[in-house]
Structure 1
Amino acid sequence: MRVEVVAAVLLLAAVTNAEDSLVDIVIREVKGCMDSEHLGSIGGLRSTNDPNSAEQKCFLGCMLKKFKALDAGGHYDAEGLKTTIQHCPRMKAHPDIQKAAMQVADECNGKVTGCDDYCSCAPLASKCLHEGMKNKAFQTIFIALDEALDKMES
């Protein structure tokens, strides 16, 4: 995976409209977070694989909140993320990845600490999720997000 955003933000189990594809919904969410966090482009974030500006960190936090990996206060939420993982259509199609993602969500529970809000917690959560999946020989748990970002760049 090219980015912690992709690796950490995964799946979007948000409410979907029958006429909208999951990828289109994720694109809409990405654009919404880009707007709310004043991020002009995700290109730099995807290429560096590390959020290094306040806007990039807050964008990542916004996306992690959308996926329920961070709660309303911006802190890591393993149960919220596991709910997203359980309901994501893309994850259901890949039970091996889904199982690993559930384990990684739990493993990161005590590791994302010492941060105060969604902007500061997002890079920690993203890194933990990314490394956890990599350690289980998977690149990402963010299947739908990766597809959406690829579509946005094409």
Structure 2
Amino acid sequence: MMRATTAAAILLLATVAKAEDSLIEIVTREVKGCMDSEHLGSIGGLRSYNDPNSAEQKCFLGCMLKKFKALDADGQYSAEGLKTTIQHCPRMKSHPDIQKAALQVADECNGKVTGCSDYCSCAPLAAKCLHEGMKNKSFQTIFIALDEALDKMQS
């Protein structure tokens, strides 16, 4: 995977952040909530850029993408929802090159996440499109904060 020097700057859950909470604390809280709601007992090797291996992993990823507003309430891909999250992220604003790439990728995925019926089936398609789009622009996955939280939870 290509690495960007500013990859750690990606913060997508700023809209739900409290001033005293760190990024990893926020994302970890959301991860635990989605693990509970989707009956996922272990995060194992799950990452935003890996294909989920089970129904629980697919639904967990869908739950997280709903938190990022990449999926709407019906579980369908929402470029506008994701772009709103990206635009309101203070750290993304401080790295306009990453923000611009993320906004472009959100739009590019709009017509590519199709043929799925709910958040569990749409999540892997959306995550793969977003990851590949960012990789093609020489940045890490748009969901780097999610992956950092998953790494921290495993250590």
TM-score (norm 2): 0.86
1:142: which partner in 2? Answer: 143
The aligned amino acid for 1:130 is H
The aligned amino acid for 1:29 is E
Change in CA separation of 1:57 and 1:15 when aligned onto 2, cut-off 3 Å: same
Per mean C-alpha deviation after superposition, the further-off stretch among 125-134 and 37-46 is: 37-46
Change in CA separation of 1:124 and 1:48 when aligned onto 2, cut-off 3 Å: closer
Gaps of 5+ in 2: 2-10
CA distance in 2, matches of 1:35, 1:106: 31
Count of residues in correspondence between the two structures: 146
- Assess if the C-alpha contact under 8 Å between 2:47 and 2:150 holds in 1: no
Say whether 1:46 aligns with 2:47.
yes
1:118: which partner in 2? Answer: 119
Gaps of 5+ in 1: 2-9
The aligned amino acid for 2:104 is Q
Change in CA separation of 1:102 and 1:47 when aligned onto 2, cut-off 3 Å: closer
CA distance in 2, matches of 1:80, 1:151: 27
CA distance in 1, matches of 2:82, 2:119: 14
Post-superposition Cα deviations, 1:4-62, rounded to whole Å, max 9, x if no partner, equal: xxxxxx72233221221122111100110011001111123239921021000000000
- Assess if the C-alpha contact under 8 Å between 2:87 and 2:93 holds in 1: yes
Post-superposition Cα deviations, 1:92-113, rounded to whole Å, max 9, x if no partner, equal: 2322111100000000001101
- Assess if the C-alpha contact under 8 Å between 2:13 and 2:85 holds in 1: yes
CA distance in 1, matches of 2:127, 2:48: 15
**1:41-80 equivalences in 2 (<5 Å):** 41-46=42-47, 49-80=50-81
TM-score (norm 1): 0.87
Q: Which has the higher helix share?
A: 1
1:18: which partner in 2? Answer: 19
- Identical aligned pairs, as a percentage? 89
CA distance in 1, matches of 2:62, 2:114: 14
The aligned amino acid for 1:26 is V
The aligned amino acid for 1:106 is D
Change in CA separation of 1:136 and 1:71 when aligned onto 2, cut-off 3 Å: same
Matched residue of 1:39: which SS?
A: coil
- Assess if the C-alpha contact under 8 Å between 1:76 and 1:125 holds in 2: yes
CA distance in 1, matches of 2:58, 2:134: 21
Change in CA separation of 1:136 and 1:76 when aligned onto 2, cut-off 3 Å: same
